[in-house]
A and B are shown apart, each in its own frame.
Chain A
């Protein structure tokens, strides 16, 4: 019975199958050649092959998504958060918080670990009583480390018009420094700035809360390399650059699983929607216009 069906099905199946085999073989070749060109290639630094469980977004749609999602505003206002939830209720002007000004003085972990600021806008639920008691903003804005929350209200509470426009926050100290420039996002290459010593942000407010030096396991000291859906594109991720600003706990194990390749459903779309890397790299850290910083063989997108 089987024999009778076999010739009838064979041509219909064989064509696509052979094409698929050829395509896969070709991809492998390209990929190996690509790896050989990269200085990171070597037996000590393996490439982690990612298996994708979801369908990829068509190229044209991904292009449109990138066009819409990527930041194109003025560099001074990249990373600004307009907090109006409670201000509106108390008929105050909203608070405009500028990440750009704060991050030259403090690392991410000071506010997002020690001071418990939520990574989600409005997620902290800051009340006036709390910041007057020295919590959240009040931990620094006490007249000691920074200007007091009791005075100069209008430095934070700013008029925002109906289109969402407001005068950009100014920082005299930031302008006076020679910070390494960047063509997108907030215009400053912060990783280079901290590595070169152009900025020396505090990494802890109190000695008790200083990060304990947990050495990275050997295989995480080199930049990690992952495959992507496109056979010629590789992702390079450096723990070392991230740990300059962040605590292990900012990402692990909530955003990223600690098991090797354990973060499932990790793809470009979800990043653009603000998940995974997009939690920071769409809003505060350099935006995804800087393609080549993670995909070394890609051009940046302005």
Chain B
């Protein structure tokens, strides 16, 4: 009886370890800087029995603004939410808008994105990791996410992301651009105040990435909690997946409170 019980516990322990290892992998998947912002596009793959494409935000965001793909090219902000097909790409939509042999490498070099088999997938990953490390050395460092301070890189002129694609984009009216800094007081006493800068967001996002879908237009009308942000709502739509990580507390909570309340 005792040995049986012991065996049960041992099995439980082994199972538990397996579960926990799996959980640890999932939880810490985002920690690797070269994998931060990667999106696995597997929708078409499932149907045609091919391996999923790994889309790497870091290799694109130095060259183009977020708005160009997510507003002008109509890429969804949800993984696999766009429903890209081969025909779409060939007709110059989505990836095909740039990957035409002129703006970027042509669609015909399939295997630069589509892995042939599991081994090739690993090779692509290793190659991407090397390219990422080389890129990282040229850009200002940060502590979390990609460990690249993309915002500073743009401000310093090291990268100049394109915001206009001939034949796709419309000229933006600069009169509409809001560059206000908006202070917000966090709900918890003692936390530094939040400074939200429109100017810093507008460079990458224009207006349409956030308004009016994610945030109401009227100032202070959107009630945001940190828990919701970690669940991928509001700021968490980009921060925590692609834009600087949520761990980077002081990037938003940036204005220390001198006399914290009781």
Contacts and interface: CB of A to CB of B under 8 A. Distances in A.
7 A-B pairs with least C-beta separation: A273-B16, A249-B247, A212-B250, A217-B188, A218-B190, A254-B27, A259-B227
Contacts of B250: 212-214
Nearest to B256: A215
Contact of A257 (B133, B147, B189, B227): B227
Contact of B230 (A253, A255, A278): A253
Interface of A: 61, 64-65, 68-69, 113-114, 116, 118-120, 123, 133, 135, 206, 208-209, 211-219, 221, 247-249, 252-255, 257-259, 262, 269-270, 272-275, 278-279
Contact of A135 (B133, B192, B253, B256): B133
A152 B255 CA distance: 48
Contacts of A113: 143-144
B23 interface: yes
B85 to A, nearest CB: 34
29 contacts: A68-B9, A68-B13, A118-B32, A120-B21, A123-B25, A123-B28, A211-B143, A212-B249, A213-B250, A215-B190, A215-B191, A215-B260, A216-B190, A218-B189, A218-B262, A219-B188, A247-B247, A248-B247, A249-B247, A254-B30, A254-B31, A258-B227, A258-B230, A273-B13, A273-B16, A273-B20, A275-B19, A278-B20, A279-B20
Contacts, number: 114
A215 B193 CA distance: 11
A254 B28 contact: yes
B251 to A, nearest CB: 8
A219 to B, nearest CB: 7
Contacts of A255: 27
A211 to B, nearest CB: 8
B226 interface: yes
A253 B143 CA distance: 16
Given A273-B13, A275-B23, A217 B141 contact: no
Interface residues of B, number: 45
A141 B241 CA distance: 32
Interface of B: 5-6, 9-10, 12-13, 16-17, 19-21, 23-25, 27-28, 30-33, 133, 140-144, 147, 188-192, 226-227, 230, 245-250, 253, 256, 260, 262
Given A133-B133, A274-B16, A119 B9 contact: no
Contacts of A221: 190
A218 B260 CA distance: 8
A52 B189 CA distance: 29
A257 B230 contact: yes
Given A113-B144, A249-B248, A274-B17, 12 more contacts: A65-B12, A114-B143, A208-B141, A218-B260, A247-B247, A248-B249, A254-B27, A257-B230, A273-B20, A274-B20, A275-B19, A279-B20
Nearest to A60: B5
Contacts of B133: 133, 135
Contacts of A254: 27-28, 30-31
A157 to B, nearest CB: 23
A258 B226 contact: yes
Contacts of B27: 254-255
Contacts of B17: 273-274
Contact of B16 (A116, A257, A270): A270
Contacts of B253: 214
